[in-house]
Amino acid sequence: MPPLPRSIAHLDMDAFFASVELLRYPHLRGQPVVVGGRRALATTAGQAFPCLHDYVGRGVITTATYEARALGVHSGMGLMKAGQLAPDALLLPADFEAYRHYSRLFKATVREIAPHLEDRGIDEIYLDLTALNPDGTPDGARRIARQLQHAVLEATGLSCSVGVAPNKLLAKLCSDLDKPAGITVVTAADLPARIWPLPARRINGIGPKAAARLETLGIASIGELAAADPAWLQEHFGERYGIWLHRAAHGDDERPVVTESEPKSVSRETTFERDLHPRTDKADLSEHFTRLCEQLAADLARKGYLGKTIGLKLRFDNFHTVTRDQTLATPTGDAATIRRAAGECARRVPLDRRIRLLGVRVSGLVRPGDVPPHATHTPTQAELFA
């Protein structure tokens, strides 16, 4: 096998949220289980957990076990639609505190073996294994991947899948090919057999709209995209995206694994079970609003940031979305201060329709050590919606 010029890995936890729940409820292993929704449901006599057919509301699936996925349900699908496909699948509420705990645990475990790590979310990371596999052999890459899988399993009780390739684009594709608990190593010579038969939409960066447009142009697979004339792709998708599509189909990606990056903002948002009216549901809205700001302040403290610009996001029952921002004189990480500023933003929006989604964001981030002691914002009493 040809060597890997770089050994870049993408480690993806298997059905992460659902797998964490199965640690708590091991007797549910092997059953179709869906995680989602925002409140517990009543169960019928003799049942420990509600079924999807009992769910009423607009919640969406956060994740599902592979047994549930085999029935056609998937992340992001509405729970009521999922109930039509898999009515007897069991429904568990999401526990994000537990998921964040296991996320921190698996990443700390991986860092002990492969410290060159790029954090890409709660359940996935990129790793540069080049220094650990200096000869670039596929066998060496598999050995490291097995070591990582074993360490994660020992530390968390959870399984993961690992893809190793010459770059990040191919590694992410590979980590999904042999789930769960899979190890896939691909070199440049493997592209025609392993990568080109895959649907073009599997490339990270080709969204639903671009995939649909490609299909209308007669391109369904990555191989067909690779065979397309670059000038023709630029004609239909613009110069930059057309060039990128051609390069991506040929597995060309020079991005480094970035071990440290400064976030531009930190945010929290929630979609309500039912649309809430600013007047008749003022108490409920205020409670959700305050909780979001408290969670956001906790996120800032955990990540080690303060922020100067507070943003509000509202989506109404007609799906119209508005955002408003307010920049403070000095950075803050205080929940009450964030709540007050976000409330001021809300006063600049006509609140005459029911609200479907509420979000709060803090940007203009700085480290506390970079702020002079006299420049911190003095907390004020949190205010309610006007």
Asked if 2 contacts 187 with a C-beta cutoff of 8 angstroms, the reply is yes
Q: Rounded to whole angstroms, how far apart are CA atoms 349 and 385? A: 11
Q: Quick check: do 8-15+97-193 and 265-375 share a fold?
A: no
Provide the CA 3 distance to its chain's centre, in angstroms: 32
Asked if 24 contacts 17 with a C-beta cutoff of 8 angstroms, the reply is no
Domain ranges for the chain: 8-15+97-193, 16-94, 196-249, 265-375
pLDDT tens readout for residues 145-159: 999 999 999 999 999
Query: How many Å from the N-terminal Cα to the C-terminal Cα in the chain?
Result: 67
Take residue 194 and report the two structure tokens written for it.
């392993």
Residue 45, pLDDT score? 41
Using DSSP's 3-state secondary structure scheme, residue 308 falls into strand
- Quickly state the pLDDT bin for 303 (edges 50, 70, 90): confident
Residues in a beta bridge with 310 = 326, 362
**Nearest-5° Cα angle at 308, 305 to 310:** 100
Q: In CATH, what class is 196-249?
A: mainly alpha
CATH code matching the domain that covers 8-15+97-193, chosen among 3.40.710.10, 3.30.70.3420, 1.10.275.10, 3.30.70.270: 3.30.70.270
In this structure, the number of other CB atoms found within 10 A of the CB of residue 130 comes to 17
Whether 107 has a pLDDT exceeding 80, the answer reads: yes
- For the purposes of burial, counting CB atoms within 10 Å of the CB of 212, is it exposed (0-12), middle (13-18) or buried (19 or more)? exposed
Mean per-residue pLDDT over the chain, rounded:
89
Annotation: CATH topology of 265-375: Dna Ligase; domain 1 (3.30.1490)
Closest CA to 376 of 338, 342, 333: 333
16-94 is classed in which CATH architecture? Answer: 3-Layer(aba) Sandwich (3.40)
Asked if 385 contacts 278 with a C-beta cutoff of 8 angstroms, the reply is yes
Residue 93, pLDDT score? 85
**H or E stretch covering 147:** helix 138-156
Cα-Cα-Cα-Cα dihedral sign, residues 168, 171, 175, 181: negative
% pLDDT > 70, the chain: 92
Residue 371, pLDDT score? 61
In this structure, of 80-94, 143-157, 325-339, the range with the lowest mean pLDDT score is 80-94
Residues with a catalytic annotation lie at: 124
- Quickly state the pLDDT bin for 50 (edges 50, 70, 90): confident
The arithmetic mean of pLDDT across residues 14-36, rounded, is 92
Residues contacting residue 279 through CB under 8 Å, at least 6 positions apart:
351
Task: Tell which wins on pLDDT, 260 or 95.
Answer: 95
Q: Rounded to whole angstroms, how far apart are CA atoms 87 and 71? A: 10
Q: Rounded to whole angstroms, how far apart are CA atoms 75 and 79? A: 10
Residue 36, pLDDT score? 83
